[in-house]
């Protein structure tokens, strides 16, 4: 698999505006990714579980953004979105899988550390784990399968999966890692599984020249963490946008962060 590079030529689809779908794009990092891609000449499809919120986001972004109802846990919603993209645009050039949830049972005011104690392998709710993995893992795979025929119609397709350093087995296996104590079966392990999916997708699509990479936005201030993050959404979106813009000679099968570079799996 290729190394991370920032020198490749940016995507250019025969002079047309390339088409990008961003899941979970009605708020937070996804919304910022959508805004940034429009400034780079893309037409952006704003995937949102709630269509009205997606419409509001698309209006905020501008004329080159279009709202799409897309619930990654609902196969009918995914299928309908793929059908609409096919009929209205004919292809998809970039798929950014950003939609994710961190939990369904964290109590108001409960710290991440306190919540982590309730999700150890010995006491975690299987239903809690299933709910998060349904969005963060199975939802990603379902969208991938539905959108792949459209991506294959692009001369320069690529997929960017928004992961997290919290899912790095190498970093969490290090006893000196300060965040090691919160590694568990729910959100962190869902991102580990997403990294595995990313590599499997990259291996499958490498013969076709379709790049598949995972990126970590870092600890960004979003609803996902109750706005407890330390980085802005602009900083959190940066790596996904950079990787989405890499040209045909760009890397595939990588995991990276805007400031830290290549991350260990």
Instruction: List active site positions.
Output: 187, 191
Burial class of residue 56 (count of CB atoms within 10 Å of its CB; 0-12, 13-18, 19+): middle
Q: Residue 82 half-sphere exposure, CB side, CA atoms within 13 Å? A: 20
CA distance 67 to 74: 17
Structure token digits, residue 154? 């692009």
Listed in sequence order, the residues at least 6 apart from 103 whose beta carbon sits closer than 8 Å to its beta carbon are: 115, 119, 128, 132, 186, 187
- Report how far apart, in Å, the C-alpha atoms of 194 and of each of 6, 88, 189 are: 24, 30, 8
């Amino acid at each position: 698999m290729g190394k991370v590079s920032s020198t490749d030529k940016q995507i250019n689809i025969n002079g047309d505006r390339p088409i990008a779908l961003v899941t979970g794009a009605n708020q937070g990092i996804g919304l910022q990714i959508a805004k940034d891609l429009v400034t780079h000449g893309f037409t952006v499809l704003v995937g949102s579980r709630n269509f009205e919120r997606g419409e509001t986001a698309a209006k905020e972004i501008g004329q080159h953004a279009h709202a799409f109802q897309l619930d990654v846990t609902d196969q009918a919603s995914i299928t309908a979105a793929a059908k609409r993209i096919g009929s209205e645009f004919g292809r998809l050039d970039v798929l950014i899988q950003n939609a994710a949830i961190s939990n369904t049972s964290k109590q108001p005011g409960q710290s991440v550390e306190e919540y982590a104690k309730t999700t150890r392998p010995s006491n975690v709710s299987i239903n809690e784990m299933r709910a998060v993995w349904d969005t963060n893992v199975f939802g990603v795979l379902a969208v991938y399968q539905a959108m792949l025929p459209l991506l294959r119609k692009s001369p320069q397709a690529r997929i960017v999966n928004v992961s997290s350093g919290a899912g790095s087995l190498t970093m969490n296996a290090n006893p000196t890692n300060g965040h090691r104590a919160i590694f568990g079966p729910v959100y962190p392990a869902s991102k580990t599984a997403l990294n595995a999916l990313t590599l499997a997708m990259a291996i499958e699509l490498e013969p076709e020249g379709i790049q598949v990479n995972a990126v970590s936005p870092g600890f960004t201030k979003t609803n996902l963490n109750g706005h407890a993050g330390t980085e802005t959404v602009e900083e959190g979106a940066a790596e996904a946008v950079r990787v989405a813009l890499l040209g045909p000679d760009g890397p595939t099968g990588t995991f990276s962060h805007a400031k830290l570079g290549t991350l260990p799996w």
